[in-house]
Amino acid sequence: MAKELQLMKGNEAIARAMIASGCDGYFGYPITPQSEVMETLMAEKPWETTGMTVLQAESEMASINMVYGGAATGKKVATSSSSPGISLMQEGLTYLAGAEIPCLIVNVMRGGPGLGTIQPSQSDYFQSVKGGGHGDYQLYTLAPASVQEMYDFVFDAWDIAFKYRNPVLILSDGAIGQCMEKLYTRDFTPRWTEEERRKNAPWGTWGKPATRGHNIITSLELDSAKQEIFNHKLQAKYAEMKEKEVRYEMLNCEDADYIIVAYGSSSRIAMKAMQMAREKGIKVGLFRLITLFPFPTKQLNELSKKVKGMLCVEMSAGQMIEDVRIATECNIPVEHFGRFGGIIPTPGEVLEALENKIVK
Amino acid sequence: MTEEIIIAGFGGQGVLSMGKILAYSGVMQDKEVSWMPSYGPEMRGGTANVSVIISDERISSPIINQFDTAIILNQQSLDKFEKSVKPGGLLIYDPNGITHEPTRKDINIYKIAATAKAQEMGISKVFNMVVLGGFLKLKPIVAPEFIHKGLEKSLPARHHNLIPQNEDAIEVGKGLIEAVQVL
């Protein structure tokens, strides 16, 4: 892998990774704080180089349905938006999950509810991993915590999406989207050729050879018995993801008495708070979630048997904490600290919360 | 070495680009860097600021509220960030438009009359590089050859003819900065 070093915003990294990973099409609608995704794509003009389509749709609903149409043919198709725009896409997302269409959705979260603020937030956790749309479905959900991960996770997303025939969500926020950091870019992965697409997406609506029947992409099944069988199949797929595709990072957890659990930009703030705590002689570790679905339930459960308490740090009123409490089976105190509405907590505030709520 | 810096002033003063040039220079010197701007309504309201971290180690939080150095380019930013400098830290300000001088005695305060100097030089656009020069005089965290590479990377190719002008401004800034005694 040839590496080139650059300084780049998280949003720009998403766009460049789409081009570099052989994405066939992007459909989106501008919204702060993720507008640089489409801005970068438009500036780079990949339709002149890789042949990738980039289109500004008339709305978020149009974008997600364009994703449905494009991705149903087995092409690599993506969209991005921020919280209010992602809410508008929820119908499309449940249809994509129900029709088992691999695709990539990026949410650069901002404060809510409603139009909320344009500042960073993490209050879309429930929406991302507990449905959002209707029906029993899951999106494979990756939470990048750096500009490098914004870039790398786009590549990973295609692997997972096509392996499981499932939509993948990259759940980021305005802080990582707007922040510039060092980035090692990768060599281009060419877009799939027609033959490769047919091989990698044999289920796609790319035409009917004489050797098989029609490929049908739909989320509609009028026969309840068949729908139940299909639901079981989806659940088996999610179970396999839980078994094989959980990702997380543990820092200083070996000797820790207390653990901070966080994801995305909160995990960066938590890392600094951890360092400050260690300087004061408090043995704190950081458990950083990389996948939000599948959730690292087993790993957190094991860790809960070795420590005295956990502090969940989220830029929300407390959403991820519910899954941490389930995972730890209330063995130990698990408390929440968060700022929300677009306010980013400071490392000092996190340390104070840790001392007041957990260490005592 | 970890240096946590806030650069704050009016939009249009080159606050974000000064931060970007400093950060890119750090990248060129193989440092870890982060550049976190204020964005959104306050940007549209006229003030702009950016936190830049340059370090030899993996950077934890790019979002910080205590700084080793504050580079302050207007009164609002001085009012907002003087208290956020770590004890023993550095505050650099341009006296242009400042009506209430900084008052802290537990930090090192320097001023640099960069606005006036850049006007005198007849190229007001290099004002931010004069300020950067003053900072680098006091804290040479990035070597001049990497600043050169940082300028090459940050400026679009069509502006590369302006790099010598920017480097001259940095040199001017190094000679212009002066210590302030708070009485």
Indicate which CATH number applies to the domain containing B169: 3.40.920.10
B139: amino acid identity, one letter: K
Query: CATH number of the domain that A170 lies in?
Result: 3.40.50.970
Is 90 exceeded by the pLDDT of residue B183?
no
Total domains in chain A come to 2
Is 90 exceeded by the pLDDT of residue B27?
yes
Strands (E), B20-107: 32-37, 47-55, 67-72, 85-93
**Residue A1 pLDDT:** 43
Measured between beta carbons, which residues in chain A are less than 8 angstroms from residue B33?
A: 7, 180-182
Measured between beta carbons, which residues in chain B are less than 8 angstroms from residue A275?
A: 60
* CB pairs A-B closer than 8 Å: 71
Q: How far apart are CA A5 and CA A186, in angstroms?
A: 10
Total domains in chain B come to 1
Question: Is residue A144 one of the residues assigned to a domain?
Answer: yes
pLDDT confidence tier of residue B178, bands split at 50, 70 and 90: very high
Q: Helices then strands (H, E): number in chain A?
A: 14, 14
pLDDT more than 90, % of chain B = 85
Judge: B63–A5 Cβ closer than 8 Å, yes or no: no
pLDDT confidence tier of residue B40, bands split at 50, 70 and 90: low
CA dihedral of residues B121, B123, B124, B127 (deg, nearest 10)? -80
Is 50 exceeded by the pLDDT of residue B134?
yes
Q: Are residues A143 and A262 in the same domain?
A: no
The first and second tokens of residue A212, run together, are 């098989």
Q: Is the pTM of this model over 0.90?
A: yes
Q: Are residues A134 and A254 in the same domain?
A: no
Measured between beta carbons, which residues in chain B are less than 8 angstroms from residue A346?
A: 63-65
CA dihedral of residues A85, A176, B17, B40 (deg, nearest 10)? 40
**Residue B45 pLDDT:** 56
- CA A334 to each of CA A33, A354, A356: distance values in angstroms, whole numbers, following the listed order: 32, 11, 13
Q: Judge whether B42 is closer than 8 Å to chain A, CB to CB.
A: no
Judge: A346–B65 Cβ closer than 8 Å, yes or no: yes
The first and second tokens of residue A36, run together, are 């640089």
8-state DSSP, A23? -
**Residue B100 pLDDT:** 95
Q: How far apart are CA B4 and CA B60, in angstroms?
A: 12
Q: Are residues A171 and A269 in the same domain?
A: no
**Residue A193 pLDDT:** 97
- CA A88 to each of CA A80, A133, A300: distance values in angstroms, whole numbers, following the listed order: 12, 10, 33
What is the helix (H) or strand (E) element at residue A5, kind and residue range?
strand A4-9
Question: For the packed helices B163-176 and B144-154, what is the interaxial angle rounded to 10 degrees?
Answer: 130
Q: Are residues A25 and A152 in the same domain?
A: yes
Question: Is residue A99 one of the residues assigned to a domain?
Answer: yes
Q: Is B70 helix (H, G, I), strand (E, B) or coil?
A: strand
Question: Is residue A223 one of the residues assigned to a domain?
Answer: no
Q: How far apart are CA A342 and CA A319, in angstroms?
A: 16
Query: Which residue range(s) make up the domain with A279?
Result: 249-359
Measured between beta carbons, which residues in chain B are less than 8 angstroms from residue A5?
A: 27
Which of A104, A41, A33 minimizes the C-alpha distance to A71?
Answer: A104
Arithmetic mean of pLDDT, B152-171: 94
Which residues 256-285 on chain A approach chain B with CB closer than 8 angstroms?
A: 265, 268-269, 271-272, 274-275
Arithmetic mean of pLDDT, B104-132: 95
Which residues 337-356 on chain A approach chain B with CB closer than 8 angstroms?
A: 344, 346-348
A220: amino acid identity, one letter: L
Q: Are residues A191 and A271 in the same domain?
A: no
Question: Is residue A355 one of the residues assigned to a domain?
Answer: yes
Q: Judge whether A115 is closer than 8 Å to chain B, CB to CB.
A: no
Per residue, what are the HEC states of A290-332? CEEECCCHHHHHHHHCCCCEEEEECCCCCCHHHHHHHHHCCCC
The tens digit of pLDDT for each residue in A135-156 reads: 999 999 999 999 999 999 999 9
Q: Residues with Cβ < 8 Å from B100, sequence gap 6 or more?
A: B75, B78, B79
The tens digit of pLDDT for each residue in A63-103 reads: 999 999 999 999 999 999 999 999 999 999 999 999 999 99
Arithmetic mean of pLDDT, B120-125: 90
Query: Which residue range(s) make up the domain with B68?
Result: 2-179
Query: Could you write out the DSSP letters of every residue in A153-187?
Result: HHHHHHHHHHHHT-EEEEEEEHHHHH-EEEEEE-P
A281: amino acid identity, one letter: G
Q: Are residues A131 and A255 in the same domain?
A: no
**Residue A185 pLDDT:** 95
Q: Are residues A265 and A158 in the same domain?
A: no
Measured between beta carbons, which residues in chain A are less than 8 angstroms from residue B63?
A: 175, 265, 268-269, 344, 346
Phi, psi of A170 (to 5 degrees): -100, 115
Arithmetic mean of pLDDT, B11-34: 93
Query: CATH number of the domain that A258 lies in?
Result: 3.40.50.920
**How big is chain A by its Cα radius of gyration, in Å?**
21
Low-confidence ranges of chain A (pLDDT < 50): 1
| Distance (Å) from the alpha carbon of A272 to chain B's nearest alpha carbon | 5
Q: Can you tell me the ipTM of this complex?
A: 0.91
Q: Judge whether B34 is closer than 8 Å to chain A, CB to CB.
A: yes
pLDDT confidence tier of residue B47, bands split at 50, 70 and 90: confident
